[in-house]
Structure 1
Amino acid sequence: MSTAQPTVLLVDDEADIVDVYALAFSEDYDVLKAHDGEEALEKVSDADVVLLDRRMPGLSGREVLAAIRERGFDVRVAMVTAVDPDFDIAEMPFDAYLTKPVGEAELRETVDGLLTLTDYDEQVRERFAIAEKMAALETEKAGAELAESEEYQRLAERAAELDAETSETVGEMDPETFEQALTGITELEDE
């Protein structure tokens, strides 16, 4: 008998970390474990969400992430790393960025959010990923650094473009269609 449980792939070169993370998910999720990038790429097709360490020997998390996107896997990816975010993350195609140490509640909240995000279209997922990148940078960088960063400015501009497109789409809807769309979103969040 198959389960309807989502599958989370935990990728970290430190086995103890993978085992601790697995405890957070073992009751409500199917859990896959990988201890290097190659193993992660072998298992990613079976996952709904990937928690991916950024620094690993062999294939780095960044290289694994690039391979996941190049191969077209429809999976949400959260980088879970001890590397403080820098402006290089602006171009990385992840969905969320968590800086270690990460507690069980934050891990579960992130995975639950990413699973919900799967139900939305690409534009919504892109806006969410941009918001995650901007929040990570805002936590780590001073306002002056953000203002001077071309990468951060590109993120902010793209966020504004997506917000404007959404606003335009909402403005074109008749009130009944808009209400139905909101009801659908609310029902998804309540599930």
Structure 2
Amino acid sequence: VGSCIECNVFFEEEEGVQHVCEECGKLQPESGSWAVEQMAEVDRLESEGAHSEAADALLELFYTASDHEYSDWPFSWKVGERLEGLCRTHGLANQHVVFHIAHIRILQRQNGALATENLEQGIEIARRAYRPDLEMKLLQAHWNVVNWHDSPNQSLLDRIEEVQNILNQDLG
């Protein structure tokens, strides 16, 4: 669902289709048209082998496209798919986990849902990369959602304590 840039009337968005507002007649910009230069920069970074920087740029685009006020959802999905592929191909665990945390927060904000699939995928990424710090970030993001939504269960609290102990051992 999109809203008119002129009068804020809601309409159904379709990928690749420019919508004319039925209320005011204003032609709406095509999904992603606001990010042509940024996507060209991502292409350049990737072609130069700067994969981490390209992933960071895609994360910023994803945040903007999925912002609750801007909400260019068709473009956010395209960016998300590209980011997911880039992270998998080049082993970018940090950006990959941050992307899953963004999904956890978006689902909670949109409808109060608990994004357990994103949590599990993110934890798997963090564990494969031997990054308990990233697992802790995921658990804390999930904790914040669960704490807002309901009471956290004991297994979540236990896992947070286990990961904190691992992090403390690594520091010691």
Same-fold status (TM-score > 0.5)? no
Structure with more strand by fraction: 1
Higher alpha-carbon Rg: 2
Structure with more helix by fraction: 2
Query: Larger relative contact order (C-alpha < 8 A, sep ≥ 6)?
Result: 1
